[in-house]
Amino acid sequence: MKQVVQNYKSGELSVLDVPVPGCKPGGVLVRSAFSLISTGTELMKVSEAGMSMLGKARSRPDQVAKVVQSVAVNGLPATYRKVMGKLDSYTPLGYSLCGVVEQVGAGIDDVKVGDLVACAGNEHALHAEVNWVPRNLYVPVPDGLAPRHAAFGTVGSIALQGVRQGEPQLGEVALVIGLGLIGQLVVQLLAAAGVRVVGADPDPVRCELAERLGAVACGDPGSAAVENAVAELTGGHGVDQVYLAAGGGSNQPVELAARLARDRGRVVDIGKCRLDLPWNAYYEKELDVRFSRSYGPGRYDPEYELDGRDYPIGYVRWTERRNLACFLDLAARGRVDVEPLISRIADFEDAVETYRQLKDGELKAVAVLFRYPGEAGAGEAQAPAVAVPAVRRGTAAAPARPSRSPVRLAFVGAGNYATSMLLPHLARREGVELSAVVTTTALSAANAQRKFGFARATTDLDAVLGDASVDAVFVVTRHSSHAELTRRALLAGKTVFVEKPLALTEDELAGVLAAVEESGNDRLQVGFNRRFAPLLREAKARFGARTGPASLRYLVNAGRLQPGSWYLQQGTEGSRFAGEGGHFVDTASWLLGADPVSVYAVAPSGNEDLQIVLRYPDGSTATLSYVTAGAPGFPKETLDLVADGKVLKLDDFVRASVHGSKRWVSSRLPKARDKGQSAELASFVRAVRTGGPMPVPLESLVATTAATLAVQAALVGGAPVTLARSL
């Protein structure tokens, strides 16, 4: 299929061939009929992409701050790879469309194939021929509403949510500053609610349009006409509400709002304009400044938008889905008329030229629609001991055979970790062929194919698992899918590299091992990369062999997650420690040369900090402090290993030292933090090519996973959990 994309680094726009997205449970596949260009938000993004690197930095100081923080924690080289990888990628455009349901995912019963739906979301309602849309981001289109009008649903919801924030009442007077697409819709919604509206915009054509659509009077913000109209309608008291629907860097809108609002009036920010509030003016009138967040309650909540968890109507009357349905109903009943807002309907294949004309000012438009091939049909269609599972290998022939050269690899998932920490090492490795990349979102597969040279990009996992030419499969998806994808790949006879964690529950771990037993295929590696880190390996070699028990202390200064991070979705993705704790358990076990026999864990009330004690067969102990409340500038990982009169110290993979009869200290000027990914991948590829032993024994991977999962049991039971080996 085809999709409109932009390279944020170069600013290049193109219509790209990408795989059709898969139809996941909890959503539907929608074939687009019309999609709407947001002449405000999208053009701002397009213009921003055309700036120099310095210009981009100045326009997004929030992102610059994140980069600075990442350099402090991860080092300059890793941060540079991550940032440039994001910049030099295709990004999607669009967030409002109407189309026909082409496939229905599991759990969906409110629409069927052939139904016409309006869709929302800047990750799901894209300018693309086909989109996967989750339950709460689509609604059926009312009978009689034209598809091109239903495509306004998302921007209509944005305007509607802004009006709701203003709490208008019959007979009030409102001022709408900015009469672009959102402003024109706000004017109509207010008029439909019995509010008299004054509009302000420097464009006389837009002022005339707003008056035709219900405004009492409109004029240039700097003219006396607007002030005179407000004075006449309000008896000199000022308007009850002001809606800021303007963009740009001028502070004129907020100054005008203060001047024309009544005492204790409401000012609602819907657009993205400059907000240097004149303190005296806002204080003296005690103005109520409110923000309107996009389509309404549910926006930016992954449990609502992705998992389909609705808010009870008794507590949240107007969610983003209900706003979407409400706006479509108003349009279907003629209370809102979007037809006069349509400046052009362009064929989808002309998307790049249409954007160019908008950006260069050749096309003066309020709203522009893309029309997709075949849209006419759409218009007519309307605490106890935890058992560590024993590894049992079946009698079936395992695929532990020397592979042909080159080694052919497939990736399932192409997110940030895969594209910044794994694929750069594999793409330049001699004797490796990147055969296929599989994702559920089409654009991420296309990005990975372009940047790393995959032979093909697809959303069809079964086809890749059934491809006999693929030697090994990398599972680099969200945590909740790791165990099932690993199980399927093992049963398909593939060598598997799965990023941590291997499993989130004991049942998932048992399922993976059942696949090993059934297939006889034990060719599995989990991405526990720290044991491969060159600095740590050298320090361990300098430390030498032990004769007595050891004491290991490992501080992980994990830091706080950004709001909205999918790591916070514990209901589906497991706890944060379950997701990444295996890294630290594996490192401790590798340094101590054994697997743990018991786990004890405590957590201070009210936060995610964990203190974990692992006990080993020879009496050694490892204390892991996994903390989220530490200083962000402090190193992320530090550890000390003490035994036999010697001390090994590691400082965040930047420096290491060993103190004993002789003292060794690593270089003060390391090239970068090397946490072992390159060496780990080299070992894995070598094992695939030669058919030799996997880099880490399967028994060790299972023991580490079981110990990580036992942390939760220890927290619940308040006592050490014995890791009993199954026979």
* Cα–Cα distance, 484 to 572 (Å, whole number): 14
Number of residues that make up the chain = 727
Q: What is the pTM of this model?
A: 0.76
pLDDT score at 377: 44
Q: Over 70: is that where the pLDDT of 256 sits?
A: yes
Classify residue 89 by its DSSP letter: S
- Once rounded to an integer, what is the mean pLDDT over residues 647-663? 95
Q: How many CB atoms lie within 10 A of CB 506?
A: 17
Q: What is the mean pLDDT of the segment spanning 541-563? A: 92
Closest CA to 292 of 155, 456, 90, 113: 155
Phi, psi of 628 (to 5 degrees): -115, -10
- Work out the average pLDDT over 283-305: 95
What pLDDT does 726 receive? 58
In this predicted structure, the answer to whether residue 386 has a pLDDT above a threshold of 80 is no
Distances from the Cα of 719 to the Cαs of 388, 417, 585, 602, 710, in angstroms? Answer: 18, 35, 19, 9, 11
Rounded Cα distance, 600 and 629, in Å: 21
Average pLDDT for residues 671-696, to the nearest whole number?
93
What average pLDDT does range 527-552 have in this prediction? Answer: 96
The first and second tokens of residue 389, run together, are 């599972």
Asked which of 70-74, 120-124, 169-173, 716-720 is least confident by mean pLDDT, the reply is: 70-74
Which structure tokens are listed for 474?
Answer: 């990398």
pLDDT band at 376 (very low <50, low <70, confident <90, very high): very low
Mean pLDDT, the chain, rounded, equals 90
Spatial distance between the Cα atoms of 514 and 508, rounded to a whole number of angstroms = 10
Average pLDDT over residues 517-541: 96
DSSP state of 110: S
Closest Cα partner for 238 from 279, 185, 284, 280?
284
List residues bridging with 121 in a β-sheet.
none
Task: Identify the residue with better confidence: 560 or 3.
Answer: 3
- Give the phi and the psi of residue 352 in degrees, each rounded to 5: -60, -45
Q: Comparing C-alpha atoms, which of 126, 3, 7 is closest to residue 56?
A: 7
∠ Cα 529 580 575 (to 5°): 165
Please give the structure tokens belonging to residue 93: 């455009």
Q: Whole-angstrom Cα distance, residue 524 to residue 532?
A: 16
Q: How far apart are CA 269 and CA 266, in angstroms?
A: 10
Q: How many CA atoms lie within 13 A of 521 on its CB side?
A: 21
432 contacts: CB under 8 Å, gap ≥ 6: 406, 407, 409, 426, 685
Report the first-to-last Cα separation within the chain, whole angstroms: 52
Residue 152 has pLDDT above 70, yes or no: yes
In sequence order, the 6+-apart residues with CB closer than 8 A to the CB of 270 are 158, 159, 162, 182, 186, 243, 244, 245, 292
Instruction: Pick the closest to residue 623 from 514, 539, 679, 550 (CA basis).
Output: 550
DSSP-assigned letter for residue 86: H
Give all strands of the β-sheet with 598-602 in edge-to-edge order.
386-388, 721-725, 598-602, 610-615, 621-627, 551-557, 637-643, 646-651, 655-659, 663-665
Average pLDDT over every residue of 313-325: 97
Provide the pLDDT for residue 379: 44
pLDDT of 727 over the 50 cut: no
φ/ψ (deg, to 5) at 454: -60, 140
Residue 139 CA to its chain's centroid (Å): 23
Buried b (16+ CB within 10 A) or exposed e, 462-495: eebbebeebbbbbbbbebbbbbbbbbbbbbbbbb
- Rg (C-alpha) for the chain, rounded Å, is 29
Peptide bond into 61 cis (omega under 30): no
Predicted pLDDT at 80: 62
Is the confidence at residue 646, as pLDDT, over 50? Answer: yes
DSSP state of 397: P
pLDDT for 552 equals 98
Dist. CA 18–CA 295, nearest whole Å: 28
Measure the CA–CA gap between 684 and 500, rounded to whole angstroms: 15
Cα distance between residue 681 and residue 133, in whole Å:
35
Residues 322, 88: Cα–Cα separation, whole Å: 37
Which CA distances in Å does 85 have to 10, 14, 424, 658? Answer: 13, 19, 10, 37
Whole-angstrom Cα distance, residue 509 to residue 497? 15
Range with lowest mean pLDDT among 373-382, 528-537, 559-568, 679-688: 373-382
Question: Which amino acid is present at 361?
Answer: G
Q: Is the pLDDT of residue 382 over 50?
A: no
Query: How high is the pLDDT of residue 704?
Result: 97
pLDDT digits (tens, 9 = 90+) for 436-453: 999 988 888 888 999 999
* Alpha helices per DSSP H over 437-533: 442-452, 461-465, 482-491, 506-519
pLDDT at 63 over 80: no
Q: Dump the DSSP string for 401-448.
A: SPPPSSEEEEEE---HHIIIIIHHHHHT-TTEEEEEEE-SSHHHHHHH
Of 650, 659, 614, 652, the C-alpha closest to 633 is 652
Rounded alpha-carbon distances, angstroms, from residue 659 to 535, 624, 639, 656 = 15, 22, 14, 10
Q: For residue 409, what are the β-bridge partners?
A: 434, 472
Question: What is the widest separation between alpha-carbon atoms in the chain?
Answer: 93
Assign 381 a pLDDT band (cuts: 50, 70, 90): very low
Is 534:674 a contact under the CB 8 Å cutoff?
yes
69 versus 663: the higher-pLDDT residue is: 663
Question: Span 394-398, mean pLDDT?
Answer: 59
Q: At what angle do helices 61-74 and 76-87 cross, to 10 degrees?
A: 140
Q: Which residues on neighbouring strands pair with residue 456, listed in sequence order? A: 436
